[in-house]
A and B are shown apart, each in its own frame.
Chain A
Amino acid sequence: DTAVSQTPKYLVTQMGNDKSIKCEQNLGHDTMYWYKQDSKKFLKIMFSYNNKELIINETVPNRFSPKSPDKAHLNLHINSLELGDSAVYFCASSPGEGPNTGELFFGEGSRLTVL
């Protein structure tokens, strides 16, 4: 199926650990994103990549490091996890041209719990 897929769906880990979340899209989109949804369900952008280049870095701590090996993948690595990092992280992608330019398609989310 064509989609934005991210793994793992659930991640429970101890404070101080390092973890990664992977994202892949097979929609042929040029732009990929990471969003964070906090406990109050508010969605906020973290990063955006266009054709593997970083476009947006929204004052995210440098413990968060995105990596885009190609335009179909955008992974998120988090170092030294803190309690406040607990949230649902959503990957998304959007086309860069055509009638639906800018329309976002989201993955199912990765729920991170830091103990």
Chain B
Amino acid sequence: KQEVTQIPAALSVPEGENLVLNCSFTDSAIYNLQWFRQDPGKGLTSLLLIQSSQREQTSGRLNASLDKSSGRSTLYIAASQPGDSATYLCAVRLIYSGGSNYKLTFGKGTLLTVNP
């Protein structure tokens, strides 16, 4: 059974700081890994998708890495801004095995606060 852990559970940083959010998963036979952000009372917004054959993806100030062998992914946020404050969720999709390919397993998220 896939388990996804995100550390830290909460993080508070001053504006402008670079930061790293961590995600670890127990089953390395993954199809892809996806990072989301969730603002209070809102749905999830997809930030980055890393397929199993990729090692990293970049979008603007965000960079996500994937190391399948160690079961880890990191989300790097450069020059953080107050608007980055949200909960960041990591989700992993297993390689097809019956219905498993259609299921994302989510971590519990990291609540990020960027202080002006």
Contact = CB atoms under 8 A, between A and B. Distances in A.
Interface in B86-112: 87, 89, 91, 93, 99, 101-104, 106, 108-109
Interface residues of A, number: 26
Contact of B99 (A55, A90, A100, A101): A55
11 contacts: A41-B87, A43-B89, A48-B103, A56-B103, A90-B43, A99-B51, A104-B91, A104-B104, A106-B43, A106-B44, A108-B43
Contact of A45 (B45, B51, B103): B103
Contacts, number: 59
Interface in A38-54: 40-45, 48, 50
Interface of A: 31, 33, 40-45, 48, 50, 55-56, 58, 90, 92, 99-109
Contacts of B103: 45, 48, 56, 58
A41 B46 contact: no
Contacts of B34: 102-104
B108 A56 contact: no
